[in-house]
Amino acid sequence: MLANAVELSARDSWQGQWIGPAKLPDIDLQEASWIWSNETRRDASPGFRRDITTSDDARVASVTALFSADNHYRLQVNGRILGGSSDWQHPRAIDLTPVWRSGSNTILIHAKNNINDGPSSAAGLIGKILISFADGRAQSIVTDADWRCLSSPTSSTGQPARILGAYGMEPWGEIKTQTNTTNLWTCYRKQFSLAQKPTQAVARIAVDSKYWLWVNGKLAVFEGSLKRGPTPQDTYFDEVDLTPFLQAGNNTIAVLAWHWGKDGYSHKNSGKNGFLFELDVDSHFSLGSDATWKAQIHPAFGRTGEPHPNYRMPDENVHFDARLDLGAWTAPEFDDSTWKPAVAFGLPPMSFRKSARAKRSSHDSRAISPSLPI
Ligand SMILES: [Ca+2]
C-alpha cells in the first residue's frame, strides 16, 4: 500500500486548491408532460426523437437536460451517449454543451419499462432541456407532442408521442429535481510535462470521500483516503510515492473520486464534492489541483433500487451501467476536450476559516488543513 494517511497538522501550507466538477443549473419539470408510445405492450422500449435548432447568431452558453423515465432511459445527442438512469425518483441533470452545435441538434432517447414490476407497471418519460444563451436569454424544450415516437430504433420518423398527462400526475407525483449531491462519482484528468524522470515524487491527496488514482494509465492508488471525522472540520490526506509512475516528458494523472454526500456513524460529510492534489518533485512544488484540471461526473454510476444501506453507513450501493461508460478515460491518449474545467474552491484552509468565523464561535481557532471550504 503506497498511501499513508497523515495527521492534518503535519502540513500547514498548501499550493493545490480544492476542486470539484462545475455545478449544472437546477431544472424543474414544470410545463413538461409525461409521454410514451402508443404501444399497449407493457414491456415496450420506445425511442423518442426531437430535433432542436439554435441559430448561428445566438451564441449558446450552456445546454442542460433533466429527464426521468419509468423505468429506464438512455440519452443520445448528436450521436453521442451522454447519460441515462434507472431511477426515476432521483433524476440527475446532464450537460449537453460539449456536443451542442449551432444549427440542428438531434436528441434521441431510448426508454424502457420494467415488466417485472407487475402487469400494470406504469411507463412514462418526462424531461426538459434548458438552453442558456450568452446574452442572458434562456429557452426550454419540454417533453410534449412535438416529440416523435420512432417506429424503429434506427428510424428518423414516427408518430407524435402519446401525452399521458402533465407533470405532477399520478402515479409519479412531484419529483425531487434539485441537484442531487449524494453518491456522486467524478472523474478528473490533468496532463503535465516533466523535464526529466524524478528522483523522488511525493503527492499529497485529500478527498471527500474515496478515490482511485492512475498515473500514465497505471493504477497507483486503489480506494484511497480515510473517512472524515471525528470532528466535522477534519479531512485526512494521503501521502503517496508516485516516483515509479512518472516519466520524463508528458504525464497524465487520472482520478476517480466517490463523494458519499451524507453522514454515517464513522463519517462526517463536508457538504462538498471536493478533491485536493499536490505533487512535489525532487522537493519542489511541481503540480497542484486547480481550474486547469478537467472534471466530469461519471455518467455510468447511479443509484440502485432498494434495499439501501441504513443510516449508519455513509456509502451507498454501487450501481454501474456499462452502456454509459466513458471508455478508457484513465489512459493518457483519451480525448478529454469535451470535459469542462474543474471549479476551484480555493486553497485550504483559508476559505474554510473565513466562512467558519462567520458561522461558528468556538471551533475556528485551530489551523486545520486541508479542511474543505464550506
Ligand atoms: Ca414501470
The pLDDT assigned to 178 comes to: 75
Mean pLDDT of 103-132: 90
Closest CA to 43 of 114, 97, 104, 94: 114
Using the predicted structure, report yes or no on whether residue 126 has a pLDDT greater than 60.
Answer: yes
Do 115 and 197 belong to one domain?
Answer: no
Domain finish residue from 166, 196, 226: 166
367 domain-assigned: no
Residue 79 CA, ligand 1 centroid: distance in Å: 27
Closest CA to 123 of 49, 50, 47, 37: 37
Do 120 and 245 belong to one domain?
Answer: no
CA atoms within 13 A on the CB side of 275: 34
Do 333 and 201 belong to one domain?
Answer: yes
Per residue in 175-219, pLDDT (tens digit) is: 988 777 889 999 999 999 999 999 999 999 999 999 999 999 999
Residue 329 CA, ligand 1 centroid: distance in Å: 33
Q: Which residues of 127-147 are buried (b: 16+ CB within 10 A; e: fewer)?
A: bbbbbbeeeeeeeebbbeeeb
Residue 156 CA, ligand 1 centroid: distance in Å: 26
Q: Quote the number of domains for the chain.
A: 2
171 domain-assigned: no
The pLDDT assigned to 239 comes to: 92
Mean pLDDT of 24-49: 89
Higher pLDDT, 373 or 163: 163
Do 160 and 186 belong to one domain?
Answer: no
220 domain-assigned: yes
Residue 124 CA, ligand 1 centroid: distance in Å: 8
Domain finish residue from 108, 143, 166: 166
Do 41 and 133 belong to one domain?
Answer: yes
Residue 113 CA, ligand 1 centroid: distance in Å: 5
Q: Which residues crowd ion ligand 1, with CB under 5 Å?
A: 70-71, 113, 117, 121-122
Using the predicted structure, report yes or no on whether residue 363 has a pLDDT greater than 60.
Answer: no
Q: How confident is the model at residue 357 (pLDDT cuts 50, 70, 90)?
A: very low
Residue 177 CA, ligand 1 centroid: distance in Å: 19
Mean pLDDT of 110-119: 83
Give the DSSP letter string of 239-307: EEE-GGG--SEEEEEEEEEEE--S-BTTB---SS--EEEEEEETTEEEEE-STTSEEEE-TTEE---SP
Do 53 and 12 belong to one domain?
Answer: no
Q: How confident is the model at residue 358 (pLDDT cuts 50, 70, 90)?
A: very low
61 domain-assigned: yes
Do 195 and 153 belong to one domain?
Answer: no
Domain that holds residue 156: 33-166
Do 194 and 337 belong to one domain?
Answer: yes
Do 324 and 276 belong to one domain?
Answer: yes
The pLDDT assigned to 201 comes to: 96
Using the predicted structure, report yes or no on whether residue 167 has a pLDDT greater than 60.
Answer: yes
Residue 219 CA, ligand 1 centroid: distance in Å: 40
CATH number at residue 233: 2.60.120.260
Lowest-confidence pick of 63-67, 109-113, 348-352? 348-352
Cell of 35: 409521454
Per residue in 252-294, pLDDT (tens digit) is: 999 999 999 999 998 999 989 999 999 999 989 999 999 999 9
Do 206 and 339 belong to one domain?
Answer: yes
